[in-house]
Amino acid sequence: MTQPWLAPDARPPESPAAQGVAHAAVAHNTGAGEIGAVPSPVPLRPMTVADILDGGIAVIKAAPRSIFVIAGCFVVPLELVTAWVQRESLAESGLTSALSDALSSESSDTGFTWASILLLVASGLVLSLVTGAVAHLLSSWYADRAPTAGDAIRVSLRRAPALFGAWFLVHVVEGAALLALLIPLLFVMPLFLVTAPAIVIERLGPWQGVRRSWRLTRVRYGAVLGAGILIAIVSTVLTVALSGLGLAFSFFSFGWIFDVICRAASSLVTEPFVAAATTLVYFDLRIRTEGLDLELDIAEHFNRVG
C-alpha cells in the first residue's frame, strides 16, 4: 500500500502550493527547512539489527545540534521536575547512605509513591515526543528535506494528542496481558514498537497508529523482538556509562547535584538513540513488506525526468 508521503512530488517542491500535494506527514511540517546538504546517515535499504543499532548512533552524529536541541527541549524539563520531586531522597543518597541502609536491619521505604508513578508515565510520554520529532527528521531526510530542530519539535507537539493517546492504549493492552498472565509482557511489547513513528510519519490517530504498528511488526515478529531487546540493552549500557560519573561524587553531600546533571546528560544521548533506532525499525519493516525503497527510487526517477 502506497503511503501519501511517497508520491513523486514528495521531493522538495518549488512553491507552497505544490508542497501541499506532497506526503501529508512531511509536507505538513517542512516549510522552513534548513538550507544545506541533507544528512544521509543510514541508506534506505533492508537493515540488519547491527545496521539499526549503528544507525541509531549515526543519526545523532549526522545532526548533533538538531538532535540535542530536540532531546533537550523534552528531556531537560522532565529531569528538572524529577530532581525537584526527588530532592530530599537525592540529597540523602550517596555511598555512605547506601551502605548504612544496606547494613540496617530495619525495613526501608521503597519510595514507590504516586509521584514516582507520574514521573514514570511522564518519561514514557517524553520518549514518545522525542521519537516523533526524530521520526520527522529521518522521514524528511529520506525525502531530500532538511528541517530544523524547531520544525521537528513543532511537528511532534502537533501530534502529541495522538502520541499520548497511543501510549496509554498500548500500556492498557500490555497491562491487560500482564494481568491475564496469558502472554509474557516481553512478547507483547514488540507489536507496538513502531507506533510513534507510524503516527508522525503517516499522520495517524492513536488507534490507527497502534493498528499500523501491529500490522507491520507481526510480519517480522522475531526480528522486531530481537531488535527491541538489543535496543533496550544498548540504551541501558549507554545510560550506565554516561551517568556513572556521578558516582565519583557520591561521598559528598552535594553529590546528588552531579548525579542529576549526569543523568540528564545521558538522557540527551539515550533518548534520541532509542527514538532513531525505533524509527529505523519502522523503515526497515516498510522496506521489507511494502517496497518503500523501490517506491522512493521510482519517485526520484520521475522527478528527474520531469
Q: Does the pLDDT value for residue 186 go beyond 80? A: no
Q: Which range has the worst mean pLDDT, 86-95, 164-173, 288-297?
A: 86-95
Q: Which range has the worst mean pLDDT, 93-97, 270-274, 297-301?
A: 93-97
State the cell numbers at 171. 500500556
Q: Does the pLDDT value for residue 107 go beyond 70? A: no
Number of domains in the chain: 1
**Is 14 within a domain?**
no
Span 276-296, mean pLDDT?
84
Angle at 264 between CA 259 and CA 268, to 5 degrees: 145
Amino acid 180 reads A
**Is 205 within a domain?**
yes
**Is 39 within a domain?**
no
Buried residues in 251-274 as b, exposed as e (16+ CB within 10 A):
eeeebbebbbbbbbbbbbbbbbbb
**The domain containing residue 218 runs over which residues?**
46-94+113-299
Residue with more model confidence, 292 or 160: 160
Confidence of residue 230 (pLDDT cuts 50, 70, 90): very high
Instruction: Give pLDDT, residue 217.
Output: 94
d(CA 303, CA 199): 27
Residue with more model confidence, 73 or 257: 73
* pTM above threshold 0.95: no
**Is 147 within a domain?**
yes
**Is 2 within a domain?**
no
Instruction: Give pLDDT, residue 65.
Output: 93
Confidence of residue 189 (pLDDT cuts 50, 70, 90): confident
| pLDDT tens per residue across span 124-151 | 999 999 999 999 999 999 888 989 999 9
Confidence of residue 241 (pLDDT cuts 50, 70, 90): confident
Spatial contact of 282 and 199, defined as CB atoms under 8 Å apart? no
Span 273-293, mean pLDDT?
89
d(CA 293, CA 298): 9
**Is 277 within a domain?**
yes
**Is 24 within a domain?**
no
Q: Does the pLDDT value for residue 32 go beyond 80? A: no
**Is 243 within a domain?**
yes
Residue with more model confidence, 263 or 164: 164
Q: Does the pLDDT value for residue 277 go beyond 50? A: yes
